[in-house]
Amino acid sequence: MLIIAVLIMIVGFVGIFIPGLPGIGLIFISALGYGYLTGFEEISVMLISVFAVLTILAMILDYIGGILGAKRFGASKSGILWGMVGGIIGFLLFGLIGLLLGQFVGTMGGELLRGKKLELSLKSGIGSLIGYILSVVMNMSIGLFMIAIFLIRVLNK
């Protein structure tokens, strides 16, 4: 049962980088399922509650990271929307590199379509990338923390 839980957590960790996979949510579900199946003897309900709060925080950060980065660097709603579309299309066509390039090009293109100058559009595209990368780093940190605490608790019982 532990091996299955850890494998699901690993898939969840990979999902932090790949849109469409639940990421942190999968790590949480795995810990919750393991706790439930073991009668919460190794993983307490209190720890699951902490993991739930961290999961919600990570999901919020994931959702708003790219948006805040783009807005901070002057992107409009249109640029942000085009960045999300570009990221999805880029990912579907070229994987993770496509996600980054698609988000950048989409945000920049959306700003150019609105009539912004190239320099400002470029700045918005860079902002969306910075925001996305920061949200991935934060989610990665939260995911690693959850997995490490889970393993420490389970392996020390």
Q: pLDDT tens across 83-131, in order?
A: 889 988 998 898 888 988 998 999 999 999 999 999 999 999 999 888 8
Cβ–Cβ < 8 Å for 14, 96: no
Q: Is 103 helix (H, G, I), strand (E, B) or coil?
A: helix
Longest dimension (CA), the chain: 62
Give the model's pLDDT for residue 131. Answer: 87
CA distances from 104 to 26, 45, 57, 84, 132 (A): 28, 41, 25, 9, 10
> What tokens does 5 get?
């839980």
Whether residue 103 contacts residue 75, with contact meaning beta carbons closer than 8 Å, is answered with: no
